[in-house]
A = this chain, B = another copy of it.
Amino acid sequence: MASSPEIIAVNQAEPPFYWGLDVGGTGIKIGLVDQVGQTLAFEKIPTRESEGADSAVERIGDVVDAIKARLGSNGQIAAAGQIAAAGLGAPGPMDLPTGYLVAPPQLPSWWNYPIRDRVAERLQLPVSFLNDGNAAAYGEFWLGSGRDDSSMVLLTLGTGVGGGIIVDGELVNGVNSFGSECGHIVIDPSPTAQLCVWGGGRGQLEAYASASGVVQRTRQRLTEGADSSLSGLLGGENTELTAKRVYEAALKGDELALKIIDETAYWLGIGITTLVHTLDPGSIVLGGAMNFGGVDCAIGQRFLAGIALEFKNRTFDNVFAGTTIKFANLGADAGYLGVAGFARHEHTTKQPAI
Q: Which residues of A contact B (CB under 8 A)?
A: 93, 150-151, 165, 167-168, 170, 172-182, 184-189, 201-202, 204, 267, 270, 273-283, 313-316, 318-319, 322-323
Q: Which residues of B contact A178 (CB under 8 A)?
A: 276-277, 280, 316, 318-319, 322
| A187-B189, A274-B186 given; A174·B279 CB < 8 A | yes
The smallest beta-carbon distance between A321 and chain B, in angstroms, is: 8
Instruction: Please classify the interface of chain A as helix (H, G, I), strand (E, B), loop, or mixed, using the class held by over half of its residues.
Output: loop
A172 and B167: CB pair below 8 A?
yes
Q: Distance in Å from the Cβ of A91 to the closest Cβ of chain B?
A: 15
Q: Report whether B278 and A175 are in contact in the complex, using a CB–CB cutoff of 8 Å.
A: no
Q: A185-B278, A274-B185 are in contact. Are A313 and B201 (CB under 8 A)?
A: yes
B280 near A278 with CB under 8 A, answer: no
- For A276, the chain B residues whose CB sits under 8 A away are 178
Q: Known: A201-B314, A315-B201. Is A281-B175 also a contact (CB below 8 A)?
A: yes
Which of B168, B174, B188, B315 is close to A189, meaning CB atoms less than 8 Å apart? B188
In the assembled complex, the CB of A112 is this many whole angstroms from the nearest CB of chain B, namely 13
A319 to chain B, nearest CB (A): 5
What separation, in Å, do the CA atoms of A280 and B323 have in the docked complex? 23
A179 to B150, CA, bound (A): 13
A179, A180, A277: residue with the most chain B Cβ atoms closer than 10 Å: A277
Which residue of A93, A150, A170, A280 has the most chain B CB atoms within 10 A of its CB atom? A280
